[in-house]
Homo-oligomer: A and B are copies of this chain.
Amino acid sequence: MFSKACEYGIRAAVYVALQSLDGRRVSVNEIAEEIDSPIAFTAKILQQLSRSKVIHSVKGPTGGFELDRTEMDTVKISTIVHAIDGDDIYVGCGLGLKECNAQKPCPLHDKFVDIRNDLKNMLENTSLYELATGLEVGLTYLKR
């Protein structure tokens, strides 16, 4: 479904959001530890998220990653997926035709588009804040 990079990216962003709720800035090392991901690879992904304005980064001592409260509402999971995996999952053909086109649909088109749109809507309507609060009250987990 999503690439590994994207999975780590979402988990990382949720963790950053969670800690930012407490005003804590977090380092790559802490993030990788808390979401159980490879450190250096996670660093790359955080760079990407930072460049695409999903999270904010601060260099130097006391630096790290953070997200302000209003951004947690506006940043949707769809933004993260788009930043890392591109728009294939939103517009691509389920059977791999060069493009998904209702005028010349693949055999699975009609049924696939329904699912794809549900997924798209779900991701577009889920904010980092929403996911972070579930974590905060201990209902959900970022590693096992």
Contacts and interface: CB of A to CB of B under 8 A. Distances in A.
A14 B112 CA distance: 16
A101 interface: yes
Contact of A106 (B1, B97, B109, B140): B140
A8 B115 CA distance: 20
A96 B2 CA distance: 9
Contact of A109 (B101, B119, B140): B140
Contacts of A4: 96
Nearest to A121: B115
A97 B144 contact: yes
Contacts of A20: none
Contacts of A72: none
Task: Determine which residue in A101, A132, A140 has the highest number of CB atoms from chain B within 10 A of its CB, and name it.
Answer: A140
A21 interface: no
A105 B140 contact: yes
Interface of A: 1-2, 4, 7-8, 10-11, 14, 77, 89, 92, 94-99, 101, 104-109, 111-112, 114-115, 118-119, 122, 126, 131-132, 134-135, 139-144
